[in-house]
Structure 1
Amino acid sequence: MTRLRERRWFPLVWLIPAALVLLALLVLAARWLRETPGWLDFAASFPGTTELPADTPVGFPAWLGWQHFLNSFFLLFIVRSALLIRGRQRPPAFVTRRNDGLIRTKGAPRRLSVHVWWHLVVDTVWVLNGVVYVVLLFATGQWVRVVPLGWDVIPNAVTAGVHYLSLDWPAHEGWVHYNALQLLSYFATVFLAGPLALLTGLRLSPVWKHEWRVNRLLTESLARSLHFAVLVYFIAFTIVHVGLVLTTGALRNLNTMYAGRNDDSWIGALVFAGSLVVMLVAWVVLRVPVQKKIALLGGTVR
């Protein structure tokens, strides 16, 4: 029994049952709350959605579907490499960048574990993809769907949240608009979690200067804690997001996200399945041996 308690996963033995009991109590509380007169008045004033400008675009353009896939693809390898880094096991190889290529620095390049190097490579592509996404978001007017336009979004998000918690999903009309809780979660993911991941990642990367004054506020320890917190947020967001997509009208949701259609055909589901196959193949292929070959294109590997 003593050896069992020393296992890293042992706290899950009581944490998981406790979380399930707490969740059940919250569901019961939410269902009770929705029957009270005060809540009925509140929900009538704040139904869970906010009004959008009359010229808000309807539907999802093709570029948004591609962005959704690419973001998921890159995030898969970001999380994988991050967990390997946090595992603190001796890496199978180390990479040192050559200083005579496109990227040149005054100081000598630092030697990085292959996991850290791969994490930085995928992060860089993910950030570039994010920049393209934000530019297109504002250029096409889609930004009004994921940016709060008034303070009434907060009480409306409370209404939507209570609906979710009571297991009575609020109406999903993503083709036209998101409910307030969706809006806030997407805003937090794109405009808060994303930039925070970039900032803290840069703080931990070789490009950050140790003599900068901002280091007194954003210490390496703080940056590492925040960076990990953002990682946990992205994992939790993905789990909840995928779960809701599949339980609130999977065919229609997958069509809007992957096929740019607002119907219940199987086209979006087939595209989604194809994207999963691509991600699975990449997961199998892009392991350390292939990463080392890629690293050799611009550095030395030992």
Structure 2
Amino acid sequence: MQIPLRRGLPRVPAGEPWPPAGSFVELDVPNEAPRSPLNEAPAGDLAAVAVRQGLPRTPGGAAFPPVDVVMLPLPAAAAGATAAESDQTSAAPAGELTAVAVRQGLPRTPGGAAFPPVDVVKLALPAAALKGREDETAQPEAETPSTREPRAAQSPAPGAQPTQPGTARPGRLAAWAAAALSAGFAFAMAVLFARYLVSTEWGEGFTTRFDGRQPLPAGAPVGLPAWLNWAHFFNMFLMVLVIKTGLSVRRERRPEALWAPRGNPRAKISLTLWLHLALDIAWVALGAVFYVLLFTTGQWVRVVPTSWEVFPNALSAGLQYLTLHWPADNGWVHYNALQELTYFAVIFLAAPLAIVSGARMSPVWPKGWTFMPVSAARAIHFPTMIFFVVFIASHVALVALTGLRRNLNAMFAARGSVDPAAYATDWTGTIIFLIALAVVALGAFAARPVFIAPLARLTGTVSNR
């Protein structure tokens, strides 16, 4: 009886699965395939072994193989099995059999040998393989190596060579270097173009008419109050932690710890996501207080455009920035028009988008509210985070380049004057900024499960799985 063999991995890289399609093993089973042939087999020579039947090969057919018992030689009759194997080999035409290793399993009797007693069987090659071998008669035939011999002499094709670890890193670094060079070249071209433009007659007239200052209404407040300094610090602290935990949530595959509310233990989320949501809630609460104070103290006129002239002034300020000759403005008294539009976009556009899209992606979003798909929220949330990162980087760079100590005094110490040079050498704001920076760094270091777990246990259950 012929039993087809299951095909496995190829013997050579990029080769065909082995053994070839159509390979089978010849078993000495009576044609009538009796269910219990123990009485017909010679005593001590053969043993009945159950065969697991699988699905039929044709729709509506019988289970395959058609027998559930086959006769195999016992370990004591190894010589007889060898003789039978030699008879089978001699009966087959030369060159039509190949040796295939058989995986041996546990013995059938305590202390016995591994079963089956043979580790190699002779299989007949399919007709397609024989035909291919006949086509190669022009070349000298090589002796078929045993399956247990090493195949070191065969060299894989060049395209099948495995990728060495770390080979992708130089390519990635080269891509980053090329991108940095391209960005630097584009920036240099922009600076040269801006300097050429402002040197023309049109450019001189435009920057003279629109100097870049923001148009403020009469009675606009002068100076930055202390509450704005504190709000600026807490916003910096929370924004750094929100971005850090948000990126950690995106990269997290196996959370170190899980959090679940006490009322619903099955609604588990990672502890990193819990921290991200908790920081989001604190940031939203800070924003609500900021909105109230912004509109009740009149400071809103400094970040909300009140005249159409803000747009040509913003263009003029942008040209002045590109020429690397900074706009002449005093942030204690007024911003430039480009700053005003940027702060308006951050406070009244980017922040609400981040809040709404983040709430849609969070577990607190009601399941019945289907008017905003999750895919749309993801498409909004991550680019908004990128916008915040770019804004923070450019904001910090311009603060440092346009008068570091004077700007830090206004932003962190509420110290300033209508005279831009009054606090240009005062170190108070710089010292407070360094302390604030240390607090932010400490908070970023502590934003990990080992430190957050005790706080999370106050609101729910923390577990490792």
- The alignment's TM-score, normalised by the length of structure 2, stands at 0.60
Aligned to 1:85: 249
Q: Which deviations, in whole Å up to 9, do the C-alpha atoms of 1:186-213 show, x marking residues without a partner?
A: 0000010100100101110112123324
> Residue type matched to 1:254 in 2?
L
Q: 1:95 to 1:195 in 2, by over 3 A?
A: same
SS of 2:375's equivalent in the other structure is helix
Asked whether the 8 Å contact 2:210–2:313 carries over to 1, the reply is: yes
SS of 2:217's equivalent in the other structure is coil
Asked whether the 8 Å contact 1:4–1:10 carries over to 2, the reply is: no
Per the TM alignment, residue 283 of structure 1 is displaced from its structure 2 partner at its CA by: 2.2
Per the TM alignment, residue 292 of structure 1 is displaced from its structure 2 partner at its CA by: 1.4
Alignment of 1:1-302 (within 5 A): 3-4=167-168, 11-99=175-263, 110-215=267-372, 219-262=373-416, 263-264=423-424, 265-302=426-463
Asked whether the 8 Å contact 2:246–2:276 carries over to 1, the reply is: yes
Aligned to 1:102: none
> Residue type matched to 2:275 in 1?
W
> Residue type matched to 1:186 in 2?
Y
Per the TM alignment, residue 154 of structure 1 is displaced from its structure 2 partner at its CA by: 1.0
Return the structure number with greater helix share: 1
Question: How many Å separate the matches in 1 of 2:329 and 2:319?
Answer: 15
RMSD, aligned α-carbons: 1.8
SS of 1:121's equivalent in the other structure is helix
Asked whether the 8 Å contact 2:212–2:317 carries over to 1, the reply is: yes
SS of 1:240's equivalent in the other structure is helix
Question: How many Å separate the matches in 2 of 1:88 and 1:97?
Answer: 21
Per the TM alignment, residue 32 of structure 1 is displaced from its structure 2 partner at its CA by: 0.6
Asked whether the 8 Å contact 2:413–2:429 carries over to 1, the reply is: yes
Question: How many Å separate the matches in 2 of 1:117 and 1:49?
Answer: 43
Q: 1:85 to 1:8 in 2, by over 3 A?
A: farther
SS of 1:301's equivalent in the other structure is strand
Q: Which has the higher contact order (CA 8 A, sep 6+)?
A: 1
Q: 1:86 to 1:156 in 2, by over 3 A?
A: same
Question: How many Å separate the matches in 2 of 1:65 and 1:202?
Answer: 28
Asked whether the 8 Å contact 2:302–2:334 carries over to 1, the reply is: yes
> Residue type matched to 1:146 in 2?
V
SS of 1:11's equivalent in the other structure is helix
Q: 1:109 to 1:62 in 2, by over 3 A?
A: farther
Asked whether the 8 Å contact 1:172–1:248 carries over to 2, the reply is: no
SS of 1:214's equivalent in the other structure is coil
Asked whether the 8 Å contact 1:98–1:109 carries over to 2, the reply is: no
Return the structure number with greater strand share: 2
Q: 1:10 to 1:79 in 2, by over 3 A?
A: farther
SS of 1:27's equivalent in the other structure is helix
> Residue type matched to 1:214 in 2?
F
Question: How many Å separate the matches in 2 of 1:196 and 1:13?
Answer: 33
> Residue type matched to 2:313 in 1?
N
SS of 2:461's equivalent in the other structure is strand
> Residue type matched to 1:54 in 2?
A
Aligned to 2:150: none
Per the TM alignment, residue 7 of structure 1 is displaced from its structure 2 partner at its CA by: 6.8
Structure 1 vs Structure 2: percent identity of aligned residues?
A: 43
Question: How many Å separate the matches in 2 of 1:212 and 1:9?
Answer: 44
Unaligned runs of 5+ in 1: 100-106
Question: How many Å separate the matches in 1 of 2:362 and 2:170?
Answer: 33
Q: Which deviations, in whole Å up to 9, do the C-alpha atoms of 1:57-97 show, x marking residues without a partner?
A: 10011000000000000011101101111214322111112
> Residue type matched to 1:182 in 2?
Q
Question: How many Å separate the matches in 2 of 1:204 and 1:8?
Answer: 32
- The alignment's TM-score, normalised by the length of structure 1, stands at 0.92
> Residue type matched to 1:271 in 2?
I
Aligned length: 292
